[in-house]
Every structure is written in C-alpha cells, then in structure tokens.
Structure 1
Amino acid sequence: LLPEEIEERLRPFDVPRYRAVQVFRAIHAGGARDFRAITTLPTALRERLAERFRIGIPEVAAISSLGDDRSRKFLFRLEGRLDVETVKIAGENGITACVSSQAGCRYGCAYCATPLGGFARSLRAGEIAGQVLALDEPVRRVVYMGMGEPLANYRNVVKSVRLLAHPLGRALPPRRITISTVGLVPLIHRLAEEKLGVRLAISLAAADDAKRRGILPIAASYPLPDLLAAAARFAEASGSRVTFEYVLIAGLNDGEEDARALIARLSPLRCKVNLIPFNPVSELPHRPPAESKIDRFLARLAPHLTVTVRRSAGRSIDAACGQLRLRAGGAGIEERT
C-alpha cells in the first residue's frame, strides 16, 4: 500500500497521520516483516496492527544459485500456494532484480517457457514490489521481464512502480526500471501518457509481420506499423530510447533478409536493439544460432542501429530470458525450512 492508503487503513485506530508514513518507511526502507518489529510505533499500536494486518512480503520457498553466485533464482510462494520466479543478477553496476508480474502467461510466445505452465492470475502490486523487498539487498535496477505480460496487468504494475520509486521507501529512480511487453499497442500508448519515467522494452522477434505472427501470436492483433508508431510515441513522451528485444532462433529469424528487414523498420526510430540468443527449453523445438551466425547478424546491424548481444545470466539454473515457469528449478535448490 502507498502511504495515503495506509493512512486510510489506520483511520479506525485514531492515530496521527504521520503513523502511516512510519509504517510505509519501516516496510519499504527498513525491511520490516512484522508490525511488532516497527519500533517507531508505540507498543500498543504495534500489537493492534499485528492482530489486524500482516505485512505481505512473498515467502521464499526455494533458491537456485550458480557456483559464482552472480545469478540466483528465487521461487516465491504467494497466497493460494501460487509460485512465481524472480531472478537476482549481480553485475559490476549493482544488483538487478528481474520480477514477475503474473503467475503464468497467456501469450504463448514461441521461445518462452512460462506459458507451458498455464496461467493462474495476475499479481497484486504488493506481490510485485514485494519480490524486490524480499531480496533483502540494495537493488539498483528492476526489470519487469520475469513471468507474465506486464502490460496485461497494467494497473498493478504501474502501482508497483510507484511503490518502488516512492521517496519514503526504496526511492528507486524510475529510469532504472524497465517494463517489457510483447507489444500490447493500446497499453503502450497508455503507458506513454502515464509519464512514469520508466524505460520500455518491446519483444520484436521479427521485422516481418507474417514471421512475427508465427513467433508471437499477439502480433496478429497488432501489426508492426501500429507497434512501431506506439514505440515512437513512448520514446517522444518519455525522452528515452525504446529497447527492442530480438530473440535469435536458428533458422527462423537469423538470416540476412531478417537483418535487412530490421534495419529498414528500426532505423527511423530512436531505439536500441538487444539480440538475445535463444535460451534452450526442453519442451520447445528451437535452438540458438551458431556463434558465427550471431556474429554475422550483429555485424550486419551495427553500422545502422545501436545493437548489443545480451548473454542471459542463469541459463544453467533455468533463470535466463524465456526460461522461467510455474515450477521450481533443478539442482542447486536450497529449501527453506
């Protein structure tokens, strides 16, 4: 809850308004997990709040980690025994949290494991922001690139951004928050009007409508000209470049004609391109291109576009881009007791 919402919940307790700020700050900046631990509150009030409410930080059910601990995958248990996965990535510039916005996904992208587990529900704002709070570490960046389609849970995603960016809490600068989407055009326009200050990443997969529909089924509803117009509007409204995420799949979208189409479509836009070699999923038939093919594709784009190859961390623990799903990981899981 935001401070003004906490204030409303505290109204029956007949306490000063500043108590709401103390509660918010204790949870979001101080890491409080129980009202009895909020020592800025009077003891009697702490007891009354603990009897009436609980602080709903997601429970860590399991953790998978790499040997060097650069990436850790957290399995969080939500109400109703729903599980979602979050990835903590430690880099030179600090920790990035890759958070989930839904338990499962409805969109069926050809390179993603999440839809294989079905769809349960959208997460509440507190459940999304709570993934960051539950890491108990100073997170520098947040990317909404975990399970689910963030813009399909628009209201809760936007509220979770406000929670994470609130100056009385984590005070995470919005420019360090990236919301991803498979390309829900009306909601990209809405996000542009929101003026949150966040960055936007769009899954592209192909610069040809027919090919894109075969990889991203949602593309049948939103042709590329409409998607690119929405991206241009967001870039203008936000003052930041839009990132296009392009998952490279061997024999499907990694050819010379694909590179030419990308250059033609994206050159007029203020954008950058992340090339992401497909991360293997056992139930999916695809594979990543050979390194030489990736290098050629990159070299073809580089003179015309701002482009990088993004090597996803956490592949060995199914924590890389496209590998999260509604189940626990394999080896390396530490069970919480």
Structure 2
Amino acid sequence: MEWRRGPVIGRGSTATVSLATVVPSGEHIAVKSTELSKSEFLQREQNFLSKMNSPYIIKYGGFSVTEETYNLCMEFAPGGSLFDEIQRHGGRLNEQRIKFYTSQILKGLNYLHMNGLVHCDIKSKNILIGKDGFAKIADLGCAKFVEKFDDNKNFAVSEFCGTPVFMAPEVARREEQGFAADIWAVGCTIIEMATGTNPWPELNDPVSALYRIGFSGEVPETPRWLSGEAKEFLRKCMRKDPNERWTAKELLEHSFVSEVIESHSCFNEEVDMSSPCTVLHQGIWDSTLSPENSTHRVSSLNSFRRKDSEIVWKCRKLELG
C-alpha cells in the first residue's frame, strides 16, 4: 500500500507528524517520522500499537523504513488533540465535556492495563479526537509492560519516562511507575480540562517540579467550580499512596462517569470534524521538513490519524541529588 506525504501537522522532540494520503483511495492518514538512528521511541510505539485493538486507542496502520527515515502510519484524528479541544472552548471545558472525555480515556487505559501496559505519559496533548468526536489515547513511545502484574496493585517499571508536571509522586521519587501512575495523570488531565493549564502551572523548572511533586506531600489544587461529585472523583485519582488510588476499572463504575452517554447529542453545540482545516492551527501547516509528493510503501494499512508531540522528559537522565 502506498501513501503520499502532505503538510507537517505536528513536531516534537523525537518525531515529525505529517498528513498523508493513501494512494489511490485518497484516505487521509497520519505519518510520524524520524531519523532511523533516533527511532527508538517510534519503534517502541509501533510495537505496542500493532498489538492494540480498541476504539479508545489510536489505530495502527503500518510502518516503512528508508535508508535514513523510520515512518509510523496511524489513524488520522481530524479533531486534533484534547489540548486543541480545550483551546477551542475558550481555555476550559464544561463538566459535561470533562465527563465525556474522561470516560473514554479511562476505557482506553483500562484496555491498556488489562493487557499489562502502562502508558507513562497521559496528558491532553497525547489524547486525540477522532472523526467520531471520541477521545483516543495516542503516543505510546514511553509505554512499558509492567514487570510485576498481580491482584495486589504491586506494579512497577524500572525505567521512568513522561512529562514532569503530570507525574505521580512515586514516579517523581523514582520509586515505581505502574498503573496507578497513569491514574494520577488522568486526574492531572481532568484539571487541565477544567482550567486550561497543567496541574502545577507555577512550576516551570523540571527539577523543581519533580522535587515538589515527589517530596512536598502536596497535591494539585482542585478547580473550585467543579461539582462535589467531580471533586470526589478527582480525589480517587490523586491519592498520594499509589496503592490507594482507584483503578481504571473502579473509576469507570464511579457515578461521575458511569452514566455518560457517548453521543454528541448530549452537547448543546454541534461538533464539526469534517475538515482538518477546522481544527489544526495554520501555523503548524509547514511542510518544509519533508517533500510534498514523495511516495512510500508500508507493510500494512487500515484506518488512520494525526499526532501532536511535545518534549518528553526522560527521568532516567535526571538526577535529584
């Protein structure tokens, strides 16, 4: 199956994402590309995505390798990222929408966790909005299989990865990064949806952020305007002891999300996902990094998406002293 590369729609520290067109069907896909010599994270993501099959995880579409480039093909999500969605609604989402997207994020996480996989970098920029308007977990470049997997919630991975201000206290202390760390990050993402900022907006330095998160005993401030039900749900996500945090499965049974109807009819306004131009900022439609009309062949192809990336802090490179 062949595809033709179009404009760049996202850039990160490890890869560039382009909108591409399948030849000859004309279907849009997203192609994430990086130098072959620096493709460790992309190859890891390909390995995980190729094993996933959930409507709440971005779909895998194959890969190709040239002499200098590694390309990962994925479902194109015309709604952009959840971060984009927050900006489209004036910098914060109402509680109705927060419930809607939180339910879908948890369903995706529950699928990953049931398969023994920790995402390690849940945040709004790694959640994409598909053509159906539903949230899909993306960017599995930091994901890892757990080293311990039992019924007592004793899960850990030996290498630490992610974005500092979304990390759980035990990750900031470099003790463990298991399923419970993803749940903490869900709580951080709820705060992000409610406020338009990360849960620790006053912390700009990664070292300071990790020290405060890991050793101060503080938790992020809960948005005051949320309902009591939402605040109680948030507390289940952000318990300091990872063994006391609710699991994704348990949270899905909480009244905050258990009765969410997955239909946009529950929203007051209509959602238009018909064109990439309605949701992607013109400033990132930049194709200077890749030729517009180059054609590539991939090993497999289904249905597809786009991706926004962000600098990822690899904690194994960070010494807290």
**TM-score normalised over the length of structure 1:** 0.30
**Highest relative contact order (Cα 8 Å, sep 6+), 1 or 2?**
2
Larger strand percent: 1
Larger helix percent: 1
**TM-score normalised over the length of structure 2:** 0.31
Q: Which has the larger radius of gyration?
A: 1
